[in-house]
Structure 1
């Protein structure tokens, strides 16, 4: 049987499971946590935005943020998850990859994965099951993964 990794992720948590038998139970092998996931944006950005002068006149105004700090933290965590998956691929820890993630996080995770990892990707499921027990995760997977 080929080695399968089932990666269950959200913006706050990622769990990696393996499966020994085609329809057997999942065993968790790794867990990553995003400690900044529940932090309000006002606490992530502690500095006030910079100030700029108007092009004409005496006015000054605050410069806007380029990207939402919570979104930026989610992108950073997606890259961390992708790095863990890439390291597993390089060590031949899996032959096939299954991603189970909420749709918004999946949108950040996909582009962070290499083309070699995409070739091993067998299934994507757009559901947030990061806090679900392994049996609930297994229930949404195809019979043979």
Structure 2
């Protein structure tokens, strides 16, 4: 894919967001950081206070344990929703033209559920990969290879 001038790139996972814009041209992309956010996730022991609950069958003496809630996954899903909201606000304010979204498959799936129509219309590519720890040059190469 050719990375055009002023194309924005949203690189996200369940903990980090990196918004970039191409200030260069199609031959020599120059990605500049617009926004960078990171979410600190607490250890599981600090997120939950109890053991998972138990269920008793109505007939007999059988009991079942409920599955323990994955608080880290809930926090990552919530962050994906926040990223979709950030993209919505930027788009409705007229700050976003063409948009490329790069995120791991699970995060990308959660974000898709919450895209505003205007955001979805501006997305020119989605790349299902982890790229939050890559430098801008590597991100540009990833987009151009897609």
Whether 1:120 aligns to 2:126 is: no
- Equivalent residue in structure 1 for 2:59, among 48, 56, 63: 56
Pairwise CA distance, 1:22: 2.5
Alignment check: 8 A CA contact 1:5 1:97 kept:
yes
Looking at structure 1, the residues matched to 72 and 128 of structure 2 have their Cα atoms a distance apart, in angstroms, of 21
- For residue 82 of structure 1, what is the aligned residue in structure 2? 84
Deviations 1:75-114 (A, max 9, x none): 1010011111111001111111111112222111111111
Number of the residue aligned with 2:30 = 25
Match of 1:8 in 2: 11
Q: How many residues align?
A: 140
TM-score normalized with structure 1 length: 0.83
Q: Deviations over 1:19-38 (max 9, x none)?
A: 123233100011121212xx
Q: Does 1:34 align with 2:39?
A: yes
Quick check: 124-133 or 50-59, which moved more?
A: 50-59
Gaps of 5+ in 1: none
Runs of 5+ consecutive residues of structure 2 not aligned to the other structure:
none
Kindly report the root-mean-square deviation, in angstroms, between the aligned alpha carbons of the 2 structures. Answer: 2.2
Q: With the length of structure 2 as denominator, give the TM-score of the two structures.
A: 0.82
